[in-house]
Amino acid sequence: MSVRYERVGSAAVITIDRPERRNAIDRATAEGLLRAWRDFDADSTALVGILTGAGGYFCAGVDLVALDLVEQPEGWLGHTRAAVSKPTIAAVAGYAVAGGLELALWCDLRVAGAGAVFGCYERRFGVPLADGGTQRLPRVVGLGRALDMILTGRPVDAEEAWRIGLVDRLVPAGSELAEALRLAEALAAFPQETMCSDRRCVYEGLGRPLEEGLAVEAAAARWVLSEAVAGAARFAAGEGRSGAGVEPG
């Protein structure tokens, strides 16, 4: 199998397992990724999804040797036009380039090991960004930096990626998955209904006028009010004072 699905604590770890091809995506792998993310979303006990790659690589994009991908409503690479209802983290080692960058951008958070490399390498071969890169990259790093990466196709090392906000956590090489799992458990410790509701509001508000976004937020907040009331009662009883229990960084 070119995609592995494993449960580790509160997380589901989805691994692209084609290291001999730098985890490049062929048709079977794309289909496996879509199945894995559907399995994650359907599993009520898996609270955070982690995407990673085997053999010291994240993903080198489309397998240009096999070149057997077929466009589906969910995207060329399997799931990049689909959505899940719970937080996702990319644990990046080695190359996350071309479609691999687009897969990392699909995730909510990105943890990278030192030595990771990002880039729109498909620029060299006339392959378009077709799995969300032109839309998600500007939202993550801003218009100017996104256009620089998209137009030049240049490599962006892990340090620069962290500096421009493409990466949320920069860790020693080889520890990216461990850090993603630690972060997943920190997220899993929070009240889930409110966290997932807030996450959904962020995405639903993108591109809307402020007034519409505020209406989305207000409606969602009313749905999770009971969880907020319970949390306020815990705080009043002395829990969580001075920021105790908040993810440190």
Q: Which residues of 132-160 are buried (b: 16+ CB within 10 A; e: fewer)?
A: bbeebbbebbeeebbeebbeeeeebebee
Residue 65: Cβ-neighbour burial (10 angstroms; 0-12, 13-18, 19+): exposed
Give the position of tokens 């490399």.
Answer: 117
**Catalytically annotated residue among 102, 176, 217, 239:** 102
What distance, in Å, lies between the first and last C-alpha atoms of the chain?
Answer: 35
Does the annotation count 176 as an active-site position?
A: no
CA-CA distances (angstroms) from residue 107 to 67, 132, 159, 233, 236?
24, 11, 19, 33, 35
Does the annotation count 193 as an active-site position?
A: no
**Among candidates 97, 85, 86, which has minimal Cα distance to 166?**
97
> What's the longest Cα–Cα distance across the chain?
61
| 156-157/117-119 β-pairing | antiparallel
**Catalytically annotated residue among 31, 74, 122, 176:** 122
Query: If you count DSSP H runs as helices and E runs as strands, how many of each does the chain have, helices first?
Result: 9, 9
Which residues participate in catalysis according to the annotation?
Answer: 102, 122
